[in-house]
Amino acid sequence: MCLAVPARIVQLEDDRAVVDALGNRYNTRTTFIPDAKLGDIVLVHAGFAITIVDEEEAKKTWQLIAEFDEFQEEQEKATSD
């Protein structure tokens, strides 16, 4: 399963960007959204920024990812006890 993840553009040169998603940095292409600029939050899928997203929507997604990570850690702990 593949997911598109919101990430903030922290470096941008031509259509090449470095994005930050929850503290993880990835190389991304902005070919599909040439109007993207430094600081924008973009939805990244398979190495490409596919759309610019609102910061509030990105925060909701980041919160859901954090909750999933917490749930997964709880499950791993429960099965190791």
Domain ranges of the chain: 5-80
The domain defined by 5-80 folds into SH3 type barrels. (2.30.30)
Give the rounded percent of residues in the chain with a pLDDT score beyond 90. Answer: 70
Residue 49 DSSP SS3: strand
Residues in CB range of 10: below 8 A, 6 or more apart: 17, 18, 19, 20, 25, 38
Question: What average pLDDT does the segment 46-52 reach?
Answer: 96
Cα 69–Cα 66–Cα 73 angle in degrees, nearest 5: 20
Which of the two residues, 19 and 69, has the higher pLDDT score?
19
Average pLDDT along the chain? 92
